[in-house]
Structure formats: C-alpha cells, structure tokens
Structure 1
Amino acid sequence: MQTPSSAVDVPDRAGLLADLIAEGDELDGLVAELDSSGWATPTPAPGWTIAHQIAHLAWTDTWSLRAVRDPAGFPAAARASFTGAEPGSGDGIELGGAVDLGAEAGARRPHPELLAGWRAGRAELARALARTAPDTRLPWMGPPMKPASMATARIMETWAHGQDVADALGVVRSPTARLRHIAHLGVRTRGFAFTVHGLAAPAEPVRVELTGPAGESWSWGPAGAADRITGPALDFCLLVTRRRHHADLAVTPEGPVATAWLPIAQAFAGPPGAGRARRGQRPSGLDPLAPRVR
C-alpha cells in the first residue's frame, strides 16, 4: 500500500490489476447506455467519435494480450500487420497508420458488439497479466516491459481515452487514487519527452510534488533538487497525457529543467504531435496525440 507521503511505492500485483479493472469499469459506465447517436459523438481527437475511442482501447488490449500469450511471435506479427515497419529498424515497431485503421475498423462494428468485445478483451488481459511471471519481458511497440509496467500503461491509456469520452459527453469525473499510476509513469518518462522532441535529456533531477485527490502528498525525486514541479495530481496527469494545454493547468515549474519539461511532458510512446490548444483558442491543426496514446 502507498504511504501518505510518497507515490513511488508500487502496489502489489493484485492491487495494480484491481486498479486496471476499476479504470475500465468507470469508463464502461460512461458508454454502456449510449444509443447510436451517443456512440457517434465527436471527441476532442479530430475525426474520432466515442466509438473510435473504445475501439482503440479494444485494439490495444488485443495486441497487449498477444504480447503476453506469444512474446516470441509478437514482433513478426506486429511488423506484418503494421505499416511503415522494417525488420531491424530499432527497438520498437513503427505503427504507421495502424492505430487509426484499427480504431476505424472497430468503430464500424455494431455498438453492442464493440462494447462486448472491449469488455471481454480487457478482462482477459487482466487475467493473463495476473498469470504472467513478474520478471517476464513482454515485447511492445517500444522497449519491452514487465507485466506491472504493461498494466500501468493500460491504466494510463484507459484513463486518457476516458477523459476524451468524458469531455465529449460533458461529464466531469471525480479523480481517484489511481491517478498515482499515471503520475508515476509521467515522471518516469521525462527523459523520453525530451528525446522525442529532438532534445538532449537533462541529467539534473527534478522534484515532483503533487497533491492527490484526498489531499495526500505524492512525491518523486530528491527533496533538495533545484528544479521542481508542484500542483494537483489531476492536473499533472492531464499534462502528461496531453489532454490539456499546460497553460490551462495549475502545475507550477521552478528551475530551467522543470520549465522546459512542462510543455513537452508525455507519458505515452509515439510522436508528440501538436498538442491541445489553449482554452479559448482554436487548434492549429489536427491533434494526432489524442488517438495515438498507446
């Protein structure tokens, strides 16, 4: 269990998977009773309806389950299925347009069938992760990851796409302690955020101090670090999933490294894209980030 003063502690496997299941169930509650027009509601991801959002989650769960069940065959299967990938092109697998194609194909399914498939897939993935040895290195689109990291990534993505659905429906969700998983991933991916923008990852540490939903303190990094980021955990999670413009969030940087990190932070693999427009401004173009969290 997590202590009141730190978000670094990792729950046991049962707790982590319970959080993954709960995150999926919360989103399920938003979409379960939608009619056809509801499923067709546009979301903040241009060109993506609520059906696309759920179809994308189902698609990613399917590939996650394949990585768990057939780790040896996963790379070849992924390269055969995704566009723009060549064997030996690096640690990861280039997705090309596969993410959008997968979402489009899923969104065309009858909505009861799409919902049932997503439910079955996410439940089976949780069961499969529970049966996988903790130190197993699972292949993925980026570097391999252990089952706990895959579960954390699935929580992050489910929450992020759930935010898109909630925004589309005009629903304000109550933040939960599950945000600590997303915040932890956001902190761990600091170096990647610089790299994906073509910048050298600074070696200087950054202290991150967040206030959880119940007023608890979560922190990462050395207490004496010159650079730090403070704010509500919810806002930090919206930042690192790029669901809000950083200027619209109560996240405060101190120091040059923290200040440089804030506008480029992201907890997911893939290109950063243009990001969300600041509140009150029109987007400058398509925002590929929202549909391509993975």
Structure 2
Amino acid sequence: MADPQSVRTVLADLRAESDALDSLVAGLAPADWAAPTPAEGWTVAHQISHLRWTDAKALLAVEDADAFTREAGGATAPLGTYVEAGAREGASWAPPVLLERWRSGRARLWATLTGQPPDRRFPWYGPPMSTASMATGRLMETWAHGEDIADALGVVRTPTRRLWHVARIAVRARDFAYAVHGRTPPGAQFRVELTAPDGTLWAFGPEDAEQRVTGPALDFCLLAVRRRHRDDVAVRAQGADADAWLSIAQAFAGAPGTGRAPRGAGSAPGTATAADSIEGSTS
C-alpha cells in the first residue's frame, strides 16, 4: 500500500473511516440512537455527538490556534467534564440534526487539514499535533467510538488496514502511558509485531529488542483504545516491562479512565467511563 505515514494516506484513511461509521448509523431508527453503549451513560447519540464536538475543537485548533489555546486554558472544569458537556449537547438534538452536523463538521475539518503544510503543528489537549498526527488522531477516535456504537448495536465490524494508524499511535505513546500512570518508562524500546487483518506483519521498534509484544493487530488496537480488557485479547508480551505496558497502554491523550471490565465479569461487552478521553498522538 502507499506510505501509511504520508499526510495524503492518513487523510484518505480518515475519510474512509468516517464514511464507514456513517454507513453504520445513517439508517438507524430514532430508538437506536438512544441505545446505551458500553461507555457508561452514553448512548449512540452521545458517541456521535462527541465526535462532532471534537472535530469542532480540532478545526478551531487548526484555523485559530490562539482561540483554541484561550478556550482550552480558560476551561474551569476538568477535561473529562468538559468533554461530557460537549457530548450531552449534541445528544439532545434530533438524530437527523446531529447526523448532519457531524457530517458537515468533519467534512470542513478534512478539507481544512488537506490544505495544511505537513510540518505545521497545532495546539491540542495533549502534545501539539502535526497535520498528519491531527488526522491520525481523528481516525483513531472515530474508529474507537465506532467500536462502542457497533457493540451497542450488536454489529461486528470487519477490521481494515486503517488499524495501522491506531497501532502506530499506541506504540509511539508508550512513554506517555507510563507518565499518566505516574510510572517511569523503560529506557529500551520494545519490538511490537502484529498480524494485520490481511495476514501480513506490522512491525514497530528495533528488530533486536529484548522485550516484545505480539498478537493480532485488531486485539492490540482494541486494548490500546481501552475498548477491551487485557483478558479478552490475544496479545502477548515477552519481558516484564512489556508485560506491564500491556496493562496501561493507551493510544489517546488525557487520563486513562477505568477501561473495560473482562467480558467474563458479568458485563458484556464491558463498561467504562463515558469518554475514555480525547484522542492524541505523539507523532
């Protein structure tokens, strides 16, 4: 495939991921928009509203960095409360209104990102984001919240090569995951080898690394966006540090949240805090 790290590829994959989720929700009955998702207190409408809200914040960061910084710095409530309020707002709208506003907002963000220089950086709730990392973060979050919606609707989605972006964020955010848990990251990098949806191998990190993580790319990504408990994925670690990382890995900026309970613990497909946080990337 084309260079997965190129801005053009990331933007094309962001559009494809958004369109895939759109096709899942476009024909829903009003009652389905009110269906509860695994994120406690969030319905399908809350999930789409959160994506709409975050697209709007990303657009502000790209178009007016100073205004974004003032708004983010002036928020008096914790970030999680701020995110919750944004989700609630759109969830109160009629589904056709919410759907149209999500569509128009993401289209505007996509068009705006398309016109940005690759090396430009934008402020964000975590580290500053390049054009590619902003698009990658939006893709990751769209996929993650799409999983919540699919779980709520009882739909099993076919994984795609677009998961490469999610996996890469999770690997690059390794040290951030340690930091938000108050831990010191290991000095040596890990080797991460994942089986892609098409059966090929995705590899990250030094080939001669002593500590390794292996498994299906889908399972690793579900773990990294905290949509599955570690007990429910076929991801394995070689080495004590790599093993510890799998318990705290996350591909998004902000607090880790509570994550999902094991599916055997009486809560299928698992419960979590509503907004497992705003997406981010360290690229």
TM-score, normalisation: structure 2: 0.94
1:288 maps to 2:273: yes
Contact 1:134 1:148 in 2 (8 A): yes
State the identity as a percent. Answer: 55
**Quick one: which of 43, 51, 65 aligns to 1:57?**
51
Contact 1:242 1:289 in 2 (8 A): no
Other-structure match for 1:109: 93
1:256 maps to 2:250: no
CA distance in 2, matches of 1:229, 1:291: 23
Q: Which ranges of structure 1 fall in alignment gaps of 5 or more residues?
A: 3-8, 85-93
CA distance in 1, matches of 2:271, 2:164: 30
Secondary structure (helix, strand or coil) at the match of 2:136 reads helix
Other-structure match for 1:228: 212
TM-score, normalisation: structure 1: 0.91
CA distance in 2, matches of 1:56, 1:289: 10
Contact 1:161 1:290 in 2 (8 A): no
Q: Runs ≥4 in structure 1, deviation > 6 angstroms?
A: none
| Aligned residue identity for 1:66 | L
CA RMSD of aligned residues (A): 1.5
1:42 maps to 2:36: yes
Other-structure match for 1:87: none
Deviation by residue 1:231-260 (Cα, 9 ceiling, x = unmatched): 010000001001000111010100011101
**Quick one: which of 249, 257, 267 aligns to 1:265?**
249
In the comparison of the two structures, how many residue pairs are matched? 277
Alignment of 1:206-245 (within 5 A): 206-245=190-229
- The structure-2 alpha-carbon separation of the partners of 1:52 and 1:220, relative to structure 1 and needing over 3 Å to count, comes to same
Other-structure match for 2:19: 25
**Quick one: which of 258, 275, 278 aligns to 2:259?**
275
Post-superposition shift, 1:289? 6.0
Deviation by residue 1:170-226 (Cα, 9 ceiling, x = unmatched): 000000000000000010000011111111111121000001010111001111111
Contact 2:257 2:277 in 1 (8 A): no
Alignment of 1:143-222 (within 5 A): 143-222=127-206
Contact 1:83 1:96 in 2 (8 A): no
Post-superposition shift, 1:286? 6.9
Other-structure match for 1:69: 63
Secondary structure (helix, strand or coil) at the match of 1:60 reads helix
Contact 2:37 2:44 in 1 (8 A): yes
